[in-house]
């Protein structure tokens, strides 16, 4: 695989944009948790810890989506891992947390992003099959 960047196909850019929205949502959740602590939530330590983890995770997600949108092949894997982790969160929301609407919408969103990432165009781009051949001068 080369280190050059090539513009990703449209489905990969759509998946990147959708994942960027998820990243913003995660950062917003972290801010909401901090505001809860400021408002007087009693166990401040665990809530601030969760907010810190969310900021680190979704900050990385935002960085990966920008890199993917710009054409960096290696940024596809963190986006896929994020979708798989959030799919597990959606399952938990649907089943054990008894919030079927939220879980269904979250799961569908993750599956749509994964479908965009695994289209034929997206896979060919990720494997570097769309890159022009470089002539080797002997």
pLDDT tens, residue by residue, 42-91 = 788 899 999 999 999 999 999 999 999 999 989 999 999 999 999 999 99
Distance CA 64, CA 113 (A): 14
Distance CA 96, CA 6 (A): 43
Going by C-beta distance under 8 Å and a sequence separation of 6 or more, which residues neighbour residue 74?
Answer: 67
Task: Report in angstroms the alpha-carbon separations of 107 from 14, 29, 91, 122, 128.
Answer: 17, 18, 7, 21, 29
Distance CA 100, CA 19 (A): 22
pTM of the complete model: 0.84
Q: Assess whether pLDDT exceeds 70 at residue 5.
A: no
């Amino acid at each position: 695989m080369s280190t050059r960047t090539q513009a990703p196909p449209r489905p990969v850019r759509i998946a990147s944009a959708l994942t960027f929205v998820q990243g913003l949502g995660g950062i917003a959740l972290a801010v909401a948790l901090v505001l809860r602590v400021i408002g007087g939530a009693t166990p401040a330590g665990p809530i601030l810890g969760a907010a810190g983890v969310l900021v680190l995770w979704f900050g990385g997600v935002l960085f990966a989506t920008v890199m993917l949108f710009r054409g960096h092949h290696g940024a596809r894997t963190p986006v896929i891992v994020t979708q798989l982790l959030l799919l597990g969160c959606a399952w938990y929301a649907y089943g054990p947390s008894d919030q079927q609407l939220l879980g269904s919408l979250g799961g569908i969103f993750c599956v749509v992003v994964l479908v965009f990432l695994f289209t034929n165009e997206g896979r060919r781009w990720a494997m570097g099959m769309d890159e022009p051949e470089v002539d080797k001068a002997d």
